[in-house]
Structure 1
Amino acid sequence: MVSTETQAEIEEYLGRVPSWIDALPESAADHSWAIVRDLQLGETELERREKALVALGAAAAIQCPYCIRFHREEAKIDGVTDDELSEAIGVASGVRYFSTVLHGAEVDLEAFESETQEIADHVRDQQAAAPSDD
């Protein structure tokens, strides 16, 4: 159970205290809310819609129906379209797919890191050489 102060804060943000808060050990409840408040709901380097899309992609990848439901609704509140939701899930599925390929094939991590750096350098060079839209 969260403290009385935290309970009031959650109710102000969300309109109610979600039932999953009760599943947290008392020693972690206030802290857990602070993580949601400060990182997910607070103003950070990422816009709220970006964070909602990242969260939805992660939720889809770990196949969590609770998180999928919450973050899908969160994204919609922040103006994310159905097409953007589908794309975020598609990107997450691609990451999971290729992670399975890389792990299953036991691709050498050091070689992969080196290749990735070469690719990133090439793309940056291509972008620098591209005509400007100015």
Structure 2
Amino acid sequence: MTTTARPTSEVEAEIKDTLGLVPSFFSTLPEDTLDHEWQLFRRMELGETVIPNKYKELLMLAVHAETRCRYCTLFHTEAAKLFGATEEEIQEAVHLAKYTVGWSVYLNGMREDEGRFAEELAQIGEHLSA
């Protein structure tokens, strides 16, 4: 199913109305992708989804702290603040990213047996649920 994108001027007007300006990262997109990318951005960044916005932004901040994207890290830090995240929550999100990536490096580097890992995790889950 193919949908027809709206005219660039209409999409840019909506972006400006929503954000106060058309950020350069939108104005440099190919015209045939602008409407689609804006719809995704509006829904995922600004819209209410199953995960509350503050937590989405903290999650995306943690991801981009690991991918080391300065642009995304700055964006998601500021967006998290706009949605009510405190400095302590931002610091914890980034610390959790560092923590979980460390375990990933260790488990993969040591080539931990995945089957045994899954079995032990199931046993831990049963114990903690009891």
Alignment of 1:93 onto 2:103: no
CA shift, 1:106, in A, is: 1.2
What is the alpha-carbon distance in structure 2 between the residues aligned to residue 27 and residue 108 of structure 1?
47
5 Å matches for 1:50-129? Answer: 50-125=55-130
**TM-score of the pair, normalised by structure 1:** 0.83
Q: More deviation in 116-125 or 56-65?
A: 116-125
- SS, match of residue 104 in structure 2: helix
Alignment size in residue pairs: 124
Give the 3 Å change call, closer, same or farther, for CA 110–35 of structure 1 in structure 2.
Answer: farther
Is 1:15 paired with 2:20? yes
Distance 1:61 1:74 in 2: 18
Identity level (%): 37
Segments of 5+ residues of structure 1 without an aligned counterpart are 126-134
Equivalent-residue separation in structure 2 for 1:108 and 1:25 (angstroms): 46
Question: Which of residues 38, 41, 44 in structure 2 aligns to 1:39?
Answer: 44
Match of 1:5 in 2: 10
- CA apart distance, 1:17: 1.2
Taking only aligned residues, the RMSD between alpha carbons, in angstroms, comes to: 1.6
Q: TM-score, with normalisation over the residues of structure 2?
A: 0.85
